[in-house]
Structure 1
Amino acid sequence: MDEELAPYKYLCNLFTHYLLGEIDESDFLWEVESWSSPCEMFTILQGESKKSQKVLASLNSKDFFHWDIEFPDVFYGDNSGFDCVIGNPPYVEQSELNYKPLVRKTEKCGSTYAFLFELSLSILKDIGEYGYIIPMSGISTTRMSPLQELLTGNSKKINIANFAVRPSKIFPGVDMNVSIITGTKGNSSKQQIKTTGYIRWYSNERKRLFESLNYVLCTEFIKNGIFPKLGTEKDRGILSKLSKIKRNISDYVDNESSRIIYYHSGGRYWRKALEKKLSSHYKPLPIVDFAYHPILCALNSSLYYWYWITFSNCYDLVSRDVLDFPINLENIDHHILWQFSELAHNLMKDYEENCEIRLRTKSGKTFEEKNYYPVKSKKIIDEIDNLLGTLYGLDESEIRYICNFESRFRMKDNDL
């Protein structure tokens, strides 16, 4: 830093300490008045003023970083700021910090990567470029809505690449799904937001991974807390059809109903819903009688798995992921209801015939654990997807795409 800027950094440090409550108001005001006098300021900086000695002790205890003081050339002019900001911020919860971050827009996110994203946009010039690596939850959970609103409100263009943690990791040692966000700061009136799908790959494909990235426009499908992950125009077309349906599973929930579906987060490549509760991890979903079998089928379908991958953090299955799934069963043909009933019965029977019972020991106690393998019931699940396809108005190629979605990863007999 230029020596000529030392007095200005002193003043900035002074104000920062005052904001943090580390010096009282009278000392702060005295220092500000002294700062306006060059002679007195020189005395303060030399540590010769008795009144300033205790303030100096506090000021010297921390070395604050002031961007405009450290980079005066960058922050001088009409369009001040850096041309480009990139980073891989720490994924640390605010509760683990021993200080309170001075952020305004992302404080409720409660995570340092959101705070640093806010900072990066504040020091970036208009039409400047940014690039950040963050957990995928940053673009797919309501908790991170303030971060998403910050991005959409300050970006002319956003591209989001989404990488799975299995079968191979994008970064060795980082055992989580991550998103790489690149964008251009600017007016959001004609904004373009594009995403990739949920990218899985094997280790021998790493060299070609970034060459094969395909971004698809998703702006019209963004909803509170979620940027959908769309990898192809086929994904976009299917989502467009589902988005036109104005009813969802929540419309068929009846807390007084005895017809209960149980769902849970287990399994990486399949979503599974059952008629019986196997453990405390299964969550109840009471459904009106006539909609019970169609919804039971839907929650076991590849279409629902595709929907969950598109809108979730690809790790947890939360109630919103279930209740928001679009489905319209009003005025549904009785023959179609019967088909769903038959398929639901056949699927549950097939699950039981292909399940395995294992002995597990926990806390010194041995118990039985029943494991289901949906991959072994793929033929029935395909029949369900074909029936759902007609319900949603999907064409033959779209139904085939859903049935084969991620098949090179999902068609393993070891996934629960």
Structure 2
Amino acid sequence: MSLFQHSVIKKYTQELDTNSVNTAFDKFQKHFGNPEIQQNIRNSKEEQYQEGFLRELFVNILGYPINPEPNYNLLTEQKNEKDSKKADGAILKHEADKNSVIAVIELKGTETTDLSKVENQAFCYKNNHKDCKYVITSNFEKLRFYIDNAIDFEEFNLFNLTKERFQLLFLCLSKDNLLNGIPQKIKEASVSQEENITKKLYSDYSTFKRNLYQNIVELNPQFDKLTLFKKTQKLLDRFLFIFFAEDRLLLPPNSIREIIKQWNQLKDLDNYTPLYDRFKKYFGYMNTGFKGKQYEIFAYNGGFFAPDDVLDNIIIDDTILHDHTLKLSNYDFDTEVDVNILGHIFEHSLNEIEEIKSEIEGKELDKSKSKRKKDGVFYTPKYITKYIVENTVGALCTEKKNEIGINNDEIIISTRKAKKKELIEKIDTYRDWLLKITICDPACGSGAFLNQALDFLISEHRKLDELKARITNSPLIFSDIENSILENNIFGVDINEEAVEIARLSLWLKTAQKGRKLSDLSGNIKCGNSLIDDKNIAGDKAFNWHKEFPQIFGFDNLQDFENLEDLKNKDEKPDFLRLIKEKTLEAKEKAEKAKELSIEAIVLTQKVYEYAEKLDSLSEPKVNYKLKNAGFDVIIGNPPYVQVNDSLYRNYSTRKCGDLYAYFFEKGLNLIKMNGYFSFITPSLFIKGMRYESLREYLLNNSKIIGILDKGDKVFQDVQMPTAITTLIKTKCDNQNWNTFISDNDLIQKINYNSKFIKEISTIMRGLEIGKDKVYNNRNDIQFITGEDIYRYGVKNFSYIDEITYKKFQKNNFFFEGNRVLIRETGSRITTFFLNDNITQNNRSLYSIKINDEQVFNPLFILSILNSNLIQFYYQTVFAANTDVFPKIRIGQVKEIPIIDIHISMQKPFIEKADIMLSKNKELQALKSKFIKLLTSKFSNLKITNKIENWSELDFGIFLKELEKLKIKLTLSDQSEWLDYFEKEKSKANELQEVIKKTDDEIDMMVYEIYGLTEEEIHIIENS
């Protein structure tokens, strides 16, 4: 979850004052590194040590003066700007006209072992302070530091902090650095650096791939091109693994360079061999292992480096391998290049795969139908995969912990032996369950969701290790769990062979450890058509889930297997008796060694008892082993967004939808257990679209819908597709109403919280029932406006009605005099304007809102709220998009719009901004009207088209062409005169537009703040 790029951190830490860091680290070690103090902190309750923690870390070590010292920057119990809630601490920045909260601090006691549970509370405080950028959470033992959002963070173990990690802590949190915005600058530089690395690495990687493929094809005509293309990808994957492994010290450092160096030396000694032969020898070492005088290579295997009949018998030019492998080895694959960067690169490379395959088949490639577009392949951003995994795998884990009784936010570690034993038993029960959870992405691509699920499960096991160490008061030893997770918990299928290879590689790269074999992922990550098992339709890609994953679905069709030995090999049953003997002997040998190995012996002995407890399972038939309640526990993913021929999917209940993602919904629900969790991000068209009725019906009848979260149309780069995250549980749920799930209920509830509806604070009246035939332009009569005349904060023009008409249709003058907010009936966007005269009447297409008490709610405050993006989102979500040709907002809906209830003094900034919007829009309209008036006076027969009306948005050349269309031609001298006038007036209009746009955006941000929205919630609204 790292916030920063290593190279950027390195640059900034080199600029730190060494003496200041050393002095601070000495102070830090004396307190937080003292074992006796650590134990006392663990025994303290939150309120007992809260202020002591702030003083020790932030005052004594990081240099903040605390209230009531002069010019203090550190506060305890800082109250929110918008409500009475308080953060445990806050860091202030003093500016000329105000003191701004730039960081909030939320503290818990050490019994709160999972700091992620503090995130929502802490970010709620952040969002109540408009200038706040940083969030700090801690349980006194660990500390997390966030910038802007909760997606990534830096975590520091304060009781076990190295000098290097302390430097980063000091860089981020020391007074001068934080107040001067250094962490924000580091993050911005890191984002920029990551983008640069991604672009450059992708360029170098794709160049290598294309040149390598072309060279292999040229030198190896005995093999067909498609085979060589696939083998080129496999060879590249092998090189990538070695690049990662050598930089992460899984292999001898600079292995690639050493191979090239040795090759050059042999060449100089007249003992030339092709460079590729040297690399093949190294691949063999990776498969079987090698122990030489100067270095040792572990047999990582995993099937990745096993002999390959094609790769072992092809020829490659030395120059191609020499130049490109050296170039790629210059990257730091330990600190600069992570698996997420590779994910982006791999997804981009799928486009190239399509191009090369088209070349092989002699087809012209339609660039508009690249792999991404044709197959609906889009790389899923991390914040989406994180959200989906936490709300499926995380939700399932929370359910289980609640069931077992270990999901308390604060687990009090008892000193009683019996209580400790009970807690350990609960932890072991939960871990046993966790080791068996099964998670599948049926359209896994390069493995973004699988990697996120892997991260989550590893983190969950780490939390158990930490908790167990605290209960037993023993040193922390992390479980060697990664391979077990890969082999038993993570599953994926994709129709693209290259994507499957990449997904396997990404999982290997994330879990590879020195001296540990790679997991064989061929049984977990597979290639096939997830939706079709008929070979007559899908050919070799036909995929039978029950046959391919017998360890998940059982062995109902035993005739599909040659013998029971095949079943045994699919999911081998542990030999617990053998394990007991091996671990007992190993524990005895370890215990007889030096004292420092005694801890390891204890752990191994514990394993003996764990295996012994499982002996009963040996009585189960091999065929039934691990097969109770068949199906996956969780299905997650981002299925392809492609319209298809529905006749191929005639067996699906949702066949009429004609979209692959609809069939993935149905298939996914068929693949999970009862009460299993399911979540996809897909286009949101199915929510209301007519042709998706069968999908909506299927979901209602076959699942409990947890939520449908609208994510807008900017989730995927270069793709304008409105998307939604749908989360389900496979269970029967009667009386579900689809409309209940259209909105993001949590966000809607937050908007409603501490708000009053319009009907509670005002009275509303529709305007006069006067038709257009009664309206004209005689300025001597009564001024009149219609819905067509107004826009947000402005009036385009006024019309007039005569006295007789007015008296005939007259209503209560109360609604047509003084301060009033007018809201337009028609249109998909809420449009409101403000009037404060006693002369203007309006027709029925405008509702007049009169505030009951303007000392409680100012009309201009109401105006700014109603015109905001937040209220527009609320209207579209709660009242649903009207499918009429001319959508309308009903008077009953206006009455149900929530207005945040804040003191009149807090409304002042909104009133000021609304005044600016009204005055600047009035200026702009006057300027535009003056221009039109001049035109019509000059050209009496001029028809005012839309383009002419919006002249300030045109170039002068287009303006002239529009006049020519209207049979008006200007001489050159007239054109010159009009050009000067046009450009001068356009410049004035643009200046006003800029002020209006800036003020409008500022109002939106102010509205988000007073409603207490998080960054993610703001993102949802802005993209809706």
With the length of structure 2 as denominator, give the TM-score of the two structures: 0.21
> Relative contact order, CA 8 A, sep 6+: which one is greater?
1
The structure that is helix-richer by fraction is 2
The structure that is strand-richer by fraction is 1
Larger Rg: 2
